[in-house]
Amino acid sequence: MNDKNLIPSENKDAKLAVRQNYVAPAVDIYEQASGLTLVADMPGVVNERLKIDIDQGVLTLEGASEISLDGDRLFSEFAPAGYYRQFRLPEHLDLNKVDAQLHDGVLTLRLPKAETALPKRIEVKTVH
């Protein structure tokens, strides 16, 4: 081994380094007749620091948590990180009616199905 091997490689991608501080939030996703509901745990995130994007069928959740650190650490089980997670959405959703609510660090995102995808019952008329 020569000296060259001991030189640490530089991190060229600064953006990637920022992303390393992100974790994927735990989510629940369930489907009902009316649409999809996504529930994500994002403790420490406030409205202004949460970004939800839908671009070309990909849903991106991005949030920064604000957990202040006072004093010196005695022990810690979490670090104040951001949240980042992406999901590919199915095609039959009405993206204009998406509703997002953030309450006590829990994000609830309702993605209703498009009218055309909802089950429709066709009445049969009897003609005499």
Partner 1 sequence: MINWNLFREMETLRREMDAIFGNLAQEQDERMAFLPGIGTRRYPRINLREDADNFYLAALLPGIEAKSLDINLTGSTLTLSGERLGEDPQEARWQRQERGHGKFMRAIELPLDVDTDKIAAEYADGVLRILLPKADTVKPKRISIKTGKK
66 touches 43 (CB < 8 A): no
Q: Is residue 24 part of the contact set for partner 1 (CB under 8 A)?
A: yes
Listed ranges 4-12, 30-38, 93-101, 115-123: which one lies at the site for partner 1 (CB under 8 A)? 30-38
Q: Cα–Cα distance between 14 and 62 in angstroms, integer? A: 18
Question: Per the structure block, which two tokens stand in for 117?
Answer: 């995808």
2, 104, 122, 126: which one contacts partner 1 (CB under 8 A)? Answer: 104
Q: Cα–Cα distance between 15 and 23 in angstroms, integer? A: 15
26, 58, 95, 118: which one contacts partner 1 (CB under 8 A)? Answer: 26
**Which of the residues 33 through 92 are near partner 1 (CB under 8 A)?**
33, 36-37, 39, 41-46, 65-67, 69-79, 81
58 touches 51 (CB < 8 A): no
Q: Is residue 100 part of the contact set for partner 1 (CB under 8 A)?
A: no
Pick the closest to residue 23 from 66, 79, 81, 64 (CA basis): 81
Which residues of the shown chain bind partner 1 in the complex (CB under 8 A)? 20-21, 23-33, 36-37, 39, 41-46, 65-67, 69-79, 81, 103-106
